[in-house]
Structure 1
């Protein structure tokens, strides 16, 4: 049915019946797209309904659906791949994102009800390279750590590690304590703060210690080493390594063993990217370079505070040298492993 209204007099209408409708579709919710399977008839302005060719329309057709000898050729019909996310109309979709009315401000101050969700508290301290390093944790962080972990053993392990040395990578803490990653995150805020950038970036530092004021702090400077060119090292977990997932990527077959925080000669790392403290690189060449730097530091001029903050105590060429030594050892170890595998394969065919 087609209805037309006169522009001069909207009360007068003209009605015209166009045809008889066999099927009526109704929708209970708002739908922004409705695609019906139709095909335009060649030579006419009409369309062919494809539903009878796609699905049975009545019981008798359904019973005879699988008895057809020759299947009917059905045109390809592709519906849209994405529809509206909203099922009901909402006036806020087209409204302003920020409402600064007095009613909204009163609602924010007073609240409409009680929030039953437990508040998530981020009590760990994160600093940048140029910030002041905190002397002690907050009282709230200490109370929260004891509330999250009431057993004394994890607290004792962390305290002993930070008494052993003041700076650790998270991988090193997981490897030495063997405690769960989630438990470590909940109590670490009591003992150390996180350095996000600079020469000591990616390290957890003991409260009260500042490596910028201690010449021994150069031993804890971090270097990032990437091993993307070696197929023997797994692709997964490039930067973030946790103890609960590390066992799945060990090429040596060891399971439930955290990733080691040290680089050892002749052992391939288990991840493609690692952050090492320079003192944790157990290569003869790297140890020799560090010993030479530490023994000759008194003869060299003292770097300025700005240089220490930006570059650390070690010259950049020393870090590059240690990184090159690691990559060289990885390349040599990979060649040895490939040669061993090839020899075993030849023995199997002999």
Structure 2
């Protein structure tokens, strides 16, 4: 046996079917280009497979990359027929390479919604895909003609794998109201998610909490029983909050490399989470009130979103586009829990030459390291200026001005890139998007109170 190729690393792919035509199998996986993009992606992107690539109504199944330890071998076998018996003899074996990564498709793919119908009850099923997909240039008469109703859901099921469901009658606790009928189905409420502690809603009247809730302290004591290193991690985060009173969760993860499962216990014991307001999605140290300190303006949150101009938005991955990414299963905490993936620098810092990691991301003004923003932060508020409910200590339209400068830097960085794979698309929308502070788009930071 030849062993010269053991140092050659290969990537394996277990195709869920019998492959008789290599080109058709690769087309089901999106082509060689798509396979290469998935393999070279920095995140845990999954490989999609569709048994009907030309049919957009088919729901893909996804295969995640797993570590493997195997060897790919090429075996030559000689077949000799002697009567009704076929004898096989191995002539040679050659090691092609070592397989250390394997893509496996383990999700359900039996249920599909397809545009088919029967003319009669006992007639054959026919596919009407060409009636729904546009072909060529249609005139206005196409919109006025009657069309069959074909509305499909986004997916057949929310889960990709079979699960066991524990039926119970305690999912909807009864209201503790004596004047209501306790047996009525309308007298049920849904149990609250996460903790029972009400999150802080920013305002200019109520005082900020000065110490953690007893629920979080008790939760930390319980975690110490199975995680002795929690005290050391607690001191690390405490020291950071002493140096800087306001942090984002991603920024702490970037500097400390701590696991998210630990920070979800540590952060509520040291800081209060700002759910709304100028410091939205930030953690404020107990005892510090940014509403009384004008210098806290540099820690305010800027909601930055890429625009459609010149196709820049298509060059950055969307946070909402998570259907092709591997979802980590929930596990009970153990000391040997796997370390969470690292936070990229572009997630928490913005400077020339670095592009954001997502289309929608939250930055703190002090972490936007460009001269135009630094000049705005250097200007002191006028005497007698009070903290504003929406914009904090900054002047009006500061966020719009900063977004314009940041977008110009992002556009220059992307267009000056030497990446040959980067394709530019024609503008598909207006020059600017809605960046209102009142927008209710999903936060880019994990909310401890709303966590499941």
- TM tier, smaller: 0.5 to 0.7
Aligned residue for 2:361, secondary structure, equals: strand
* 1:240-319 mapped onto 2 (5 Å cutoff): 256-259=341-344, 260-291=347-378, 293-294=379-380, 297=381, 300-304=382-386, 307-319=387-399
* 1:149-188 mapped onto 2 (5 Å cutoff): 149=224, 150-151=228-229, 152-188=231-267
> Aligned in 2, Cα 1:201/1:344: closer, same or farther, shift over 3 Å?
closer
Aligned residue for 1:205, secondary structure, equals: strand
> Aligned in 2, Cα 1:224/1:104: closer, same or farther, shift over 3 Å?
same
- Give the distance between the partners of 1:156 and 1:281, measured in 2 at CA: 27
* 1:317-336 mapped onto 2 (5 Å cutoff): 317-336=397-416
User: Which structure has the highest helix share of the two?
Assistant: 1
Aligned pair partner of 1:127 in 201, 204, 220: 201
The 8 Å contact of residues 127 and 194 in structure 1, kept in 2 or not, is answered as no
- Give the distance between the partners of 2:422 and 2:273, measured in 1 at CA: 47
TM-score (norm 2): 0.44
Aligned residue for 1:309, secondary structure, equals: coil
- Give the distance between the partners of 2:398 and 2:126, measured in 1 at CA: 65
For structure 2, the 5+ residue unaligned runs are 1-117, 128-151, 154-173, 184-192, 329-339, 424-452
> Aligned in 2, Cα 1:301/1:179: closer, same or farther, shift over 3 Å?
same
For structure 1, the 5+ residue unaligned runs are 1-36, 41-49, 51-73, 83-96, 107-118, 246-254, 346-350
Deviation at 1:121, TM superposition (A): 3.7
Deviation at 1:77, TM superposition (A): 9.1
- Give the distance between the partners of 2:176 and 2:395, measured in 1 at CA: 54
Partner of 2:29: none
Aligned residue for 2:398, secondary structure, equals: helix
Deviation at 1:164, TM superposition (A): 1.2
Deviation at 1:262, TM superposition (A): 1.3
Deviation at 1:200, TM superposition (A): 1.3
String of CA shifts for 1:147-172, please: whole Å, max 9, x gaps: 22442221012101111111111211
> Aligned in 2, Cα 1:235/1:228: closer, same or farther, shift over 3 Å?
farther
- Give the distance between the partners of 2:384 and 2:179, measured in 1 at CA: 61
Partner of 2:306: 227
The 8 Å contact of residues 222 and 278 in structure 1, kept in 2 or not, is answered as yes
* 1:138-149 mapped onto 2 (5 Å cutoff): 138-149=213-224
Deviation at 1:175, TM superposition (A): 1.2
- Give the distance between the partners of 1:134 and 1:103, measured in 2 at CA: 36
Aligned residue for 2:419, secondary structure, equals: helix
- Give the distance between the partners of 1:343 and 1:120, measured in 2 at CA: 43
> Aligned in 2, Cα 1:197/1:264: closer, same or farther, shift over 3 Å?
same
Aligned residue for 1:324, secondary structure, equals: helix
> Aligned in 2, Cα 1:100/1:222: closer, same or farther, shift over 3 Å?
closer
String of CA shifts for 1:181-228, please: whole Å, max 9, x gaps: 222112211011111111111111111111000111111111101014
Give the structure with higher Rg (CA). Answer: 1
- Give the distance between the partners of 1:145 and 1:185, measured in 2 at CA: 10
